[in-house]
Amino acid sequence: MKLLKKIFKNLTFWVLIAITGGVLIGHYYPATGVKLQPLGSYFISIIKLFINPIIFVTIVTGICGMDSLKRVGRVGGKAFIYFEILTTLALLIGLLVAHVIQPGKGIDTSALDSSNIKQYDGNVSISWMEFFKENTTIQVLIISIILGIVLSQLNNKQKYLKPIYFASKYIFKGLHIVMIFAPIGALGGMAYTIGKYGVATLIPLAKLMLSVYITMALFILIVLGGVLWYYKISIFSFLNYIRNELLIVLGTSSSEAALPSLMEKLEHMGCHKSVVGLVVPTGYSFNLDGTSIYLSMAALFLAQIFNVDLTINQMLLIVGVLMITSKGAAGVTGSGFVILASTLGAVKVIPLEGLALLLGVDRFMSEARAITNFIGNGVAAVFISKNEKMFDQSRMYKAFNMHKEQKTSTEIEIPKIKPTAETSIKAH
């Protein structure tokens, strides 16, 4: 009886139930599943309200807590170098796996319907001006950095930081309350996906989907796991620590849904808040490992189904274009297809009509992309914190152990925080 009580109080249990329920509803009652879309979209919309305020309070107080502005610049520089290396590696791995497995061989294109891809024609391009104009996260990030730098130079900065600490207290309290409803969001998101696209959609392109999922799993375990292993941190312990957030991302197909919780958990496990505040928000737009893997594999997949033998130079050209265009994927409407269309338009050797084949399964692969991007940004924050010697190892062990012991918590196992007038918001 006591065990059952513990299980029923565990949010992980309810998110899993919600995901399972969403799959069943979408499969057996597709019309109902489609109608449940607002549950997922509204949940994500509410979570989005917390993202920018959390970024603001985290970065401003974090920068003010740093010992010098040089360190702020050094952290930012290291983060962008790390992003470029990891995303480039992800692109190359995607190409390599697709080249070896050849998921596009044997796909029938006779019944190809290209009527739905007119909006993704070869003239599509990425406007960086529009990207920065429409991406409020980047705007808030820049404003927060500037304000943090200005306040850090004031002798009476604590006077101005006090209301920010006060606001942060209630921002995180509100987040905890909203996250209790995560199972509802996961139910709606999964029911809509299965109801609209159907499980049968997966069968013809199962080889591509399986290839993408396996590649991303190996990338997480080997590449990202290797990054953590270098600092003697187990990838499995880290994944277990953020498992609730991963389930939310899985259910909603959006990394945004768990982004605020990730930032809070990273702080709690020992990452310096200023590093978290700089790395995670920028990584959301510029460190898209999962998206990079998918885009390179999708491009080669389309080449294979049309029997286009790409040369080494053409493959390198694809990587070069994607190194630039993929950085704006999080801030562009219909990002996956827009980025892919732009790349195909630049290479000009792969028929654009092949995008129609991906329309049906793209949604099913979005979960893998979102989860990989999400984990990648968490690992990036840990790496930069460790590299800058701004990581408390003892807090990590404590957080991991507490997480194992407190699996019965009703609050998604995220520590409550209490702002202080010190250099960081301390977890308790």
Q: What is the pLDDT of residues 88-97, one digit of tens each?
A: 999 899 989 8
Q: Among the ranges 1-10, 47-56, 271-280, 415-424, which has the highest mean pLDDT value?
A: 271-280
Over range 261-272, report the average pLDDT.
90
Residue-level pLDDT at 253: 72
Residue-level pLDDT at 426: 36
Please identify which residue in the block is written with the tokens 């995180």.
172
Residue-level pLDDT at 230: 93
Over range 299-324, report the average pLDDT.
80
Give the pLDDT band of residue 427 (cuts 50, 70, 90).
very low
Q: Among the ranges 231-245, 269-283, 326-340, 345-359, which has the highest mean pLDDT value?
A: 231-245
Average pLDDT for the chain: 77
Closest listed residue to residue 40, CA positions, set 189, 253, 175: 189
Q: Among the ranges 152-161, 258-267, 313-322, which has the highest mean pLDDT value?
A: 258-267
Of residues 174 and 205, the one with the higher pLDDT is: 174
Low-confidence winner among 80-94, 207-221, 230-244, 319-333 (lowest mean pLDDT) = 319-333
Q: Among the ranges 112-126, 139-153, 319-333, 340-354, which has the highest mean pLDDT value?
A: 139-153
Residue-level pLDDT at 93: 92
Residue-level pLDDT at 428: 32
Check pLDDT > 50 for residue 182: yes
Distances (CA, A) of 428 to 109, 274, 417: 58, 19, 6
Of residues 363 and 399, the one with the higher pLDDT is: 399
Domains and CATH numbers, the chain: 2-427 (1.10.3860.10)
Check pLDDT > 80 for residue 67: no
Residue-level pLDDT at 333: 41
Check pLDDT > 80 for residue 331: no
Residue-level pLDDT at 128: 54
Of residues 137 and 119, the one with the higher pLDDT is: 137
Give the pLDDT band of residue 416 (cuts 50, 70, 90).
very low
Please identify which residue in the block is written with the tokens 């195909």.
344
Check pLDDT > 60 for residue 411: no
Query: Above pLDDT 70, what percent of the chain?
Result: 73
- Other C-beta atoms within 10 Å of 140: how many? 18
Over range 39-56, report the average pLDDT.
81
Residue-level pLDDT at 108: 60
Can you tell me the distance from the alpha carbon of 323 to that of 315, in angstroms, rounded to the nearest whole number? 12
Can you tell me the distance from the alpha carbon of 329 to that of 326, in angstroms, rounded to the nearest whole number? 5
Low-confidence winner among 5-9, 227-231, 309-313 (lowest mean pLDDT) = 5-9
Please identify which residue in the block is written with the tokens 């009509």.
353
Of residues 373 and 105, the one with the higher pLDDT is: 373
Give Cα 79 distance to the centre of its chain. 16
Check pLDDT > 80 for residue 414: no
Q: What is the pLDDT of residues 160-170, one digit of tens each?
A: 888 888 888 88
Residue-level pLDDT at 352: 67
Residue-level pLDDT at 12: 66
Of residues 390 and 63, the one with the higher pLDDT is: 390
Residue-level pLDDT at 413: 40
| Length of the chain, in residues | 428
Of residues 306 and 94, the one with the higher pLDDT is: 94
Verdict on whether the full-model pTM lies above 0.75: no
Over range 339-343, report the average pLDDT.
69
Can you tell me the distance from the alpha carbon of 188 to that of 240, in angstroms, rounded to the nearest whole number? 24
Low-confidence winner among 136-145, 245-254, 258-267, 400-409 (lowest mean pLDDT) = 400-409
Give the pLDDT band of residue 206 (cuts 50, 70, 90).
confident
Q: What is the pLDDT of residues 7-33, one digit of tens each?
A: 666 666 787 888 888 889 988 888 998
CB 47 within 8 A of CB 257: yes
Query: Above pLDDT 90, what percent of the chain?
Result: 15
For residue 426, list its beta bridge partners.
418
Over range 357-385, report the average pLDDT.
84
SS3 per-residue string spanning the chain: CHHHHHHHCCHHHHHHHHHHHHHHHHHHCHHHHHHCHHHHHHHHHHHHHHHHHHHHHHHHHHHHHCCCHHHHHHHHHHHHHHHHHHHHHHHHHHHHHHHHHCCCCCCCCCCCCCHHHHHHCCCCCCCHHHHHHHCHHHHHHHHHHHHHHHHHCCCCHHHHHHHHHHHHHHHHHHHHHHHCCHHHHHHHHHHHHHHHHCHHHHCCCHHHHHHHHHHHHHHHHHHHHHHHHHCCCCHHHHHHHCHHHHHHHHHHCCHHHHHHHHHHHHHHCCECHHHHHHHHHHHHHHCCHHHHHHHHHHHHHHHHHCCCCCCHHHHHHHHHHHHHHHHHHHHCCCHHHHHHHHHHHHHCCCCHHHHHHHHHHHHHHHHHHHHHHHHHHHHHHHHHHHHCCCECHHHHHHHHHHHHHCCCCCCCCCCCEECCCCCCCEEC
